[in-house]
Structure 1
């Protein structure tokens, strides 16, 4: 992955080797402010002890290219306005970028104030791919940050799903510079939602929208196969079937946590309508870490992951139960029918209330019109179908979290 890349709609079989290759390049160190400096817009470590682990001895001193997320964290930790720091990088004023960061880390040499920063930070790194290339600074977070890696979370959550004894399939995975997102559904737990899907047709019948979706997501043909296997008997493009499901995410770089969220999956086009009101979050907080290489004992790691597995098992047992699923479908059907008579005005209001950008508002409106469903449900479906065409997986998942709220405001 490049510094600012986002890979969408991987299969589980594709995700695992990608996470394994990233795991092999990861190094975590706690470094004092005095051993960190900025040089030509890159972060340089000096005087930090090498990492000694099963891979041998790995030197960590050297240059690291910050990701956009790491730049934001540096700004936050040092009290520098993030927009200002970003503007310095965009305008190639790396001299000012360096002087701001170094000034706040090391103080001034010609005056007592500001004094040098006496804190230590946890730095999450990717080692350089070649000796003459910089590594990647993925995160600069508190030395109390509790490290839980994507591969460990994936394993723990899937184990919790198995422990709940519910038959599920992973329908897609996303990976960004900071987060992992995985979506799971239960093919045996389906229901008709005729009011929510009344008159709805897949917006991806529009070749332009389908091209957008294919550029960022998977293949709708797999949902046709699901429809055929379900035996519901509806005509192609008219199946009002919704599945029970959930999605889980992990953030390795300090912004969020492990998050589990139930969702309803629309069969015809793969729209995922999350239910954020019921989301469960496991935050990354740990004991204060000593300066030097970060190394959790296997016992400590097992205990952390056992908690995530148990929490997943309990949530899956609740969310993929007939009682929970039926109640959510009833709520959805009840709220779905409000007519939308002025979609352009509705989207303008929703954009302001929910923080949609101009391009997002325009895209959602296009999906609403293509979906042919002039109701509040049509707004929700437009948000979740448009999200499939968004290349940034973090933003796509955030849009899915807003779909129900958009429906209630329409």
Structure 2
């Protein structure tokens, strides 16, 4: 059985176990183009160096099943349209091979570059997994190391936090950190808003106006757990396959529904780019790893000190309130304009409209909450995090209409 690649809404313990398994199967090779090819739309490495570890000598030549992320890198490096390459993989593996091998071997002049190929070894004699084809200048900070270093930075900052869930995709790792004891009231930002996960089912005569009226009546007093409170927190994100950088992004969590508001303009990030790598199996020096992880630890500690305090949360709430209060007079066209501007699909647009009506807050702030709550319904973690990150832009677009 091959290494598991993805998980959604996992616990920290489950994520760490997955990353440890992946770390044990990791194989990084800087390979000249002449040693790379495909057969039956599978990556074939031939003529690469062996890997020497304390466990013995392991051949790196072999067959590896590409992921979508690998095809993205392959298409970018060889100048092949990625949608075309994916279509060939699905329907014409013979043409997939002809295109890839042709550009690697038969182009004039022939390809002479070397690439960093990131793989997982297979098990039981089966093929491995080809995860990424990257520049040989790509400096890697692995997910497991990032996670441990970041948690160490949080620990050193001396603030108690909870892990609100973890996602791992072929492209990225996400870890949501929340500090429930660090909070601020947001009665104006959440005025009239109620969780779309409970209450009356929209339909059977439940117009946005009736929902808003019901929400207003119910908001005369706050039940336990329904207070208009936002918690401090942030999201750790990293990519091992060139799909982004190590990032720490502040994230405010709405108590009554779990919506997350990510403040992307305040994010801290570190680009994965280093010196050119020599050909052969990549063995990162301890000094290189130490310096990279010290930076992750320091940034995580800084993020805790900067983001996990009530003053930061209160300042962001005050910044949002005036725009969030702008009324939305026609819901469907407003949601359509937001969806078009942010490239949401038709299904995502319909879900956002449904959540806007359920939320009962007929303002630009209600559009923001609808986007961030709709993000929680998406199975694909990359798409879900991208939608959540667009929440504040959705607010701005709705407020301008």
TM-score of the superposed pair, with normalisation by structure 1: 0.89
Residues 332, 51 of structure 1: CA spacing in aligned structure 2 closer, same or farther, 3 A cutoff?
Answer: same
CA contact (8 A) 1:157 1:309 kept: yes
Q: What's the secondary structure of 1:203's corresponding residue?
A: coil
Q: What's the secondary structure of 1:389's corresponding residue?
A: coil
Q: What's the secondary structure of 2:337's corresponding residue?
A: helix
Using the TM superposition, give the Cα deviation of residue 305 of structure 1 relative to its aligned residue in structure 2, in angstroms: 0.3
Using the TM superposition, give the Cα deviation of residue 316 of structure 1 relative to its aligned residue in structure 2, in angstroms: 2.0
Measured in 2, the distance between the counterparts of 1:3 and 1:205 equals 38
Match for residue 388 of structure 2? 400
Match for residue 104 of structure 1? 103
Correspondent of 1:305 among 293, 309, 331 = 293
Q: What's the secondary structure of 1:396's corresponding residue?
A: helix
Residues 294, 5 of structure 1: CA spacing in aligned structure 2 closer, same or farther, 3 A cutoff?
Answer: closer
Measured in 1, the distance between the counterparts of 2:3 and 2:345 equals 24
Q: What's the secondary structure of 2:283's corresponding residue?
A: coil
Measured in 1, the distance between the counterparts of 2:227 and 2:140 equals 43
Q: Output one character per residue of 1:153-203: Cα deviation in whole Å (capped at 9) or x when no partner.
A: 001111111222222111111111121000111111111111111111111
CA contact (8 A) 1:202 1:237 kept: no
1:120 and 2:120 aligned: no
Q: What's the secondary structure of 1:262's corresponding residue?
A: strand
Q: What's the secondary structure of 1:130's corresponding residue?
A: coil
Measured in 1, the distance between the counterparts of 2:322 and 2:281 equals 55
Using the TM superposition, give the Cα deviation of residue 134 of structure 1 relative to its aligned residue in structure 2, in angstroms: 1.2
Using the TM superposition, give the Cα deviation of residue 56 of structure 1 relative to its aligned residue in structure 2, in angstroms: 2.4
Using the TM superposition, give the Cα deviation of residue 335 of structure 1 relative to its aligned residue in structure 2, in angstroms: 2.2
CA contact (8 A) 1:6 1:393 kept: no
Measured in 1, the distance between the counterparts of 2:193 and 2:310 equals 25
Correspondent of 1:273 among 261, 266, 273 = 261
1:232-247 to 2 correspondence within 5 Å? 234-235=222-223, 238-247=226-235
Using the TM superposition, give the Cα deviation of residue 150 of structure 1 relative to its aligned residue in structure 2, in angstroms: 0.5
Measured in 1, the distance between the counterparts of 2:365 and 2:110 equals 56
CA contact (8 A) 1:124 1:253 kept: yes
1:158 and 2:129 aligned: no
Q: Output one character per residue of 1:210-265: Cα deviation in whole Å (capped at 9) or x when no partner.
A: xxxxxxxxxxxxxxxxxxxxxxx931563211101111100010121101100110
Q: What's the secondary structure of 2:376's corresponding residue?
A: helix
Q: What's the secondary structure of 1:341's corresponding residue?
A: coil
1:201 and 2:194 aligned: yes
Match for residue 367 of structure 1? 355
- RMSD, matched Cα: 1.9
Match for residue 61 of structure 1? 61
1:145 and 2:138 aligned: yes
Instruction: Report which stretch shifted further, 289-298 or 55-64.
Output: 55-64
Using the TM superposition, give the Cα deviation of residue 208 of structure 1 relative to its aligned residue in structure 2, in angstroms: 8.7
Residues 206, 120 of structure 1: CA spacing in aligned structure 2 closer, same or farther, 3 A cutoff?
Answer: farther
Match for residue 31 of structure 2? 31
Q: What's the secondary structure of 2:166's corresponding residue?
A: strand
1:18-97 to 2 correspondence within 5 Å? 18-90=18-90, 92-97=91-96
Match for residue 183 of structure 2? 190
Match for residue 217 of structure 2? none
Q: Output one character per residue of 1:325-365: Cα deviation in whole Å (capped at 9) or x when no partner.
A: 22112112232211112111011111111111111111111
Match for residue 250 of structure 2? 262
Measured in 2, the distance between the counterparts of 1:208 and 1:71 equals 43
Match for residue 175 of structure 1? 168
Match for residue 129 of structure 1? 123
CA contact (8 A) 2:174 2:237 kept: yes
**Gapped runs of 5+ residues in structure 2?**
203-220
Correspondent of 2:239 among 221, 230, 251 = 251
Q: What's the secondary structure of 2:265's corresponding residue?
A: helix
Using the TM superposition, give the Cα deviation of residue 298 of structure 1 relative to its aligned residue in structure 2, in angstroms: 1.7
Instruction: Report which stretch shifted further, 346-355 or 198-207.
Output: 198-207
Using the TM superposition, give the Cα deviation of residue 321 of structure 1 relative to its aligned residue in structure 2, in angstroms: 2.8
CA contact (8 A) 1:148 1:252 kept: yes
